[in-house]
């Protein structure tokens, strides 16, 4: 109940200010007034209506329990974290966890969350974040998993456990950390702060794997570090025994034969580098015991399983001339004892004293021993004229084909690697339709396209001989007919390389749809696997570009492509207003176009006969044309 008596001089502005201050609601309001001369008195009575208290958002209170299972393997360690969040009070749109420890986040999963990711603050601290639907905030129980990965050396690893510390009012942060390793490794814990070791997974049957370490924590930030070292380093090694290397110099070619026995002790096999730097295999052995791999300048033998295998390799060493002396320098597989026998070399010969013993000469042959790790380095000078060694080279290509309206433009970027001999002329076969527009490279004298019995050949002459790496860029184009059209891209293949392969990228230029109809000898890759080349521009981040990337080995691949136009898809909405005057009818139309898939170059609107265009405005409008009437309508074409 309110009773208020006022007496004073009437002031309208004061009453207005009082009315504007709505401090509370009053019911049954009554006002009694009395005037005494120049003064007025008021009595106001009423009942206050209590205000509703504002609803406050409940404070978020939750508990977290995580389990981190760490599995160490050879060269790689997986950390799988499973967590359970119990929200005791409130609700939230995101859950944040500070990531303690090193490791790359590979994947995460939560049925309640709509997104997950990593966030870094200014200090570099990483946070693992789960985001939830704004219409369905997280409450109750939230479960999630996170997969972290560490890469390291195969023989020894020193790592720490990754832990997730909740951010906010967590009444409990507890969990379990379990560390295991694969067979053949000794596991040792080097740090265990804020944790207590517990027994987990005890079994009466003996395990073949090293016993796991399990730690629990509660209310602390756990710090667990460990090392894993191979118990027997030789168990995973590959040994080369009965080493026998023979070399023969004839007609300017240094040919070598390597024989021996390979012992693979690991059950899953492994890789063994056999020849590297300054040498190239003359042939690939026909055997099922192993495969031959090549990376950089190193040839490796790849074994699928353990065992003992005979090896016989034939290769040629690169001969370099310096200061009137011929030189070969290459590496071969390490072994305990490495005898070498050379034949066909002249008497004026010099060996690198750091890599080999003093040779014993018998019947014109040189017998020596290499140290277990060093390369074979030989220098000699011939009395007879030097015979130019046969050219051996490999080539790697990056091909970019951009298909537009009526024309396919192509860029072939070749990386040549001379392994032996000198390169003064480059020859490339042109297979298919298309014309060479330009040829770019270092020290080019001239280039020409010559007709052959079975096709055409591009001949590039250099003004200086090349003995190392060389880059060549060929621009070509192929005219296309009216769409849709099928065509075979022009293939440009080096002549007689030791090894040839590369990548091919097919991309649309404009509103063009490309569909491979026939693919032989090509392996499709993801678009980001196309190698970077200085002569080929990087594709912009445009969703309308849909590149197709392939990998090929050898120039005998086949590709047939169907090219067709992409027609625009339109969604039209319009607003029409008819205005009736004394002597005319005015029609105002507002048309909205939604254009998808391809750009729109012209658009036609039908207007009733008897109307003329008084005003027309549109974005990017070049011109418009009003056609003759037909069936009571006139076409209005916008360009």
- The pLDDT tens digits of the residues spanning 233-267 come to 666 778 889 999 999 988 888 999 999 999 988 88
pLDDT top residue among 570 and 520: 520
pTM tops 0.75, yes or no: no
Average pLDDT, the chain: 83
Q: Is 104 helix (H, G, I), strand (E, B) or coil?
A: strand
User: What is residue 479's predicted lDDT score, i.e. its pLDDT?
Assistant: 92
Closest C-alpha among 81, 72, 226 to residue 159: 226
* Strand intervals (E) in 251-374: 253-264, 270-276, 279-281, 291-295, 298-303, 307-317, 320-322, 325-332, 338-343, 349-351, 360-362, 365-370
Answer whether residue 52 shows pLDDT above 60. no
User: What is residue 148's predicted lDDT score, i.e. its pLDDT?
Assistant: 95
User: What is residue 414's predicted lDDT score, i.e. its pLDDT?
Assistant: 95
Structure letter (DSSP) for residue 506 = E
CB 600 within 8 A of CB 570: yes
d(CA 427, CA 175): 67
Report the half-sphere exposure of 614 (CA within 13 A, side-chain side).
8
- Domain boundaries, given as residue ranges, for the chain: 2-49, 61-230, 237-380, 424-565, 569-638
Which of the four pLDDT bands, split at 50, 70 and 90, describes residue 211? low
Closest C-alpha among 72, 76, 225 to residue 158: 225
d(CA 375, CA 168): 62
Report the percent of the chain where pLDDT is more than 90: 40
d(CA 418, CA 457): 21
Q: Tens digit of pLDDT for each residue in 477-490?
A: 999 888 888 999 99
Q: Residue 576 burial by CB count (10 A; 0-12/13-18/19+): exposed, middle or buried?
A: exposed
Tell me whether the CATH fold assigned to 61-230 matches the one assigned to 237-380: yes
Looking at domain 61-230, does it have CATH number 3.30.1490.190?
Answer: no
Which of the four pLDDT bands, split at 50, 70 and 90, describes residue 4? very low
Q: Tens digit of pLDDT for each residue in 386-399?
A: 567 889 999 999 99
d(CA 119, CA 125): 8
Q: Are strands 499-508 and 392-404 parallel, antiparallel or unpaired?
A: parallel
How far CA 384 is from CA of 222, 256, 377, in Å, comes to: 76, 22, 22
d(CA 142, CA 446): 71
Q: Residue 565 burial by CB count (10 A; 0-12/13-18/19+): exposed, middle or buried?
A: middle
- Both tokens assigned to 494: 């080096």
User: What is residue 372's predicted lDDT score, i.e. its pLDDT?
Assistant: 74
- The CATH number given to 237-380 is 2.60.40.1730
Answer whether residue 169 shows pLDDT above 50. yes
Q: Is 219 helix (H, G, I), strand (E, B) or coil?
A: coil
Q: Tens digit of pLDDT for each residue in 68-117?
A: 999 988 789 999 999 999 998 888 999 999 999 999 999 999 999 999 99
Answer whether residue 500 shows pLDDT above 90. yes
Which of the four pLDDT bands, split at 50, 70 and 90, describes residue 18? very low
Closest C-alpha among 95, 98, 99 to residue 79: 99
Residues in CB range of 89: below 8 A, 6 or more apart: 58, 59, 60, 61, 62
Phi, psi of 84 (to 5 degrees): -130, 120
């Amino acid at each position: 109940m309110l009773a208020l008596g006022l007496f004073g001089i009437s002031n309208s502005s004061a009453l207005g200010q009082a009315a504007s201050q709505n401090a509370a609601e009053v019911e049954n309001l009554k006002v009694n007034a009395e005037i005494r001369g120049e003064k007025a008195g008021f009595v106001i009575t009423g009942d206050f209506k209590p205000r509703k208290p504002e609803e406050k958002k409940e404070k978020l209170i939750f508990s977290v329990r995580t389990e981190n299972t760490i599995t160490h393997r050879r060269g790689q360690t997986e950390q799988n974290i499973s967590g359970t969040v119990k929200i005791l009070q409130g609700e939230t749109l995101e859950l944040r966890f500070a990531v303690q420890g090193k490791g790359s986040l590979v994947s995460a999963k939560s049925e309640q969350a709509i997104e997950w990711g990593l966030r870094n603050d200014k200090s570099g601290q990483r946070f693992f974040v789960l985001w939830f639907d704004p219409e369905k905030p997280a409450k109750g129980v939230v479960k999630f998993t996170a997969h972290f990965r560490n890469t390291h050396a195969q023989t020894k690893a020193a790592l720490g456990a990754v832990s997730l510390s909740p951010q906010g009012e967590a009444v409990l942060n507890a969990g379990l950390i379990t560390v295991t390793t694969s067979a053949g490794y000794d596991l040792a814990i080097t740090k265990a702060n804020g944790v207590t070791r517990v027994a987990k997974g005890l079994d009466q049957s003996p395990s073949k794997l090293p016993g796991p370490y399990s730690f629990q924590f509660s209310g602390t930030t756990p710090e667990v570090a460990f090392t894993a070292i191979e118990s027997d380093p030789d168990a995973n090694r590959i040994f080369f025994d009965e080493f026998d290397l023979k070399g023969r110099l004839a007609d300017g070619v240094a040919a070598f034969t390597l024989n021996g026995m390979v012992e693979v002790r690991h059950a899953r096999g492994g890789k063994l580098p056999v020849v590297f730097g300054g040498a190239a295999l003359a042939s690939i052995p026909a055997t099922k015991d192993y495969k031959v791999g090549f990376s950089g300048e190193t040839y490796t033998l790849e074994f699928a399983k353990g065992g003992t295998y005979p090896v016989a390799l034939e290769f040629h060493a690169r001969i370099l001339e310096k200061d009137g002396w011929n030189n070969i320098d290459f590496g071969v597989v390490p072994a305990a004892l490495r005898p070498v026998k050379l034949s066909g070399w002249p008497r004026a010969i010099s060996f690198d004293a750091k890599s080999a013993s003093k040779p014993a000469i018998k019947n014109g042959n040189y017998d020596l021993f290499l140290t277990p790790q060093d390369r074979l380095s030989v220098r000699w000078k011939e009395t007879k004229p030097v015979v130019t060694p046969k050219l051996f080279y490999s080539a790697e290509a990056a091909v970019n084909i951009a298909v537009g309206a009526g024309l396919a433009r192509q860029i072939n970027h070749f990386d040549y690697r001379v392994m032996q001999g000198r390169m003064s002329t480059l020859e490339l076969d042109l297979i298919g339709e298309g014309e060479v527009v330009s040829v770019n490279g270092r020290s080019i004298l001239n280039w020409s396209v010559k007709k052959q019995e079975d096709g055409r050949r591009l001949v590039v002459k250099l003004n200086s001989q090349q003995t190392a790496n060389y880059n060549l860029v060929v621009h070509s184009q192929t005219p296309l007919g009216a769409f849709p059209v099928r065509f075979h891209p022009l293939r440009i293949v080096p002549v007689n390389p030791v090894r040839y392969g590369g990548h091919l990228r097919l991309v649309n230029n404009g509103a063009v749809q490309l569909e491979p109809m026939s693919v032989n000898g090509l392996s499709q890759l993801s678009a980001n696997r196309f190698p970077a080349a200085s002569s080929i521009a990087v594709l912009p981040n445009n969703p309308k570009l849909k590149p197709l990337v392939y990998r090929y080995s050898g120039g005998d691949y086949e590709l047939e492509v169907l090219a067709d136009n992409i027609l625009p898809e339109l969604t039209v909405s319009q607003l029409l207003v008819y205005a009736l005057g004394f002597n005319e009818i005015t029609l105002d139309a507002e048309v909205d176009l939604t254009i998808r898939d391809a750009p729109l170059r012209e658009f036609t609107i039908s207007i009733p006969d008897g109307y003329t265009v008084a005003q027309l405005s549109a974005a990017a409008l070049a011109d418009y044309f009003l056609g003759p009437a037909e069936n009571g309508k006139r076409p209005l074409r916008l360009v």
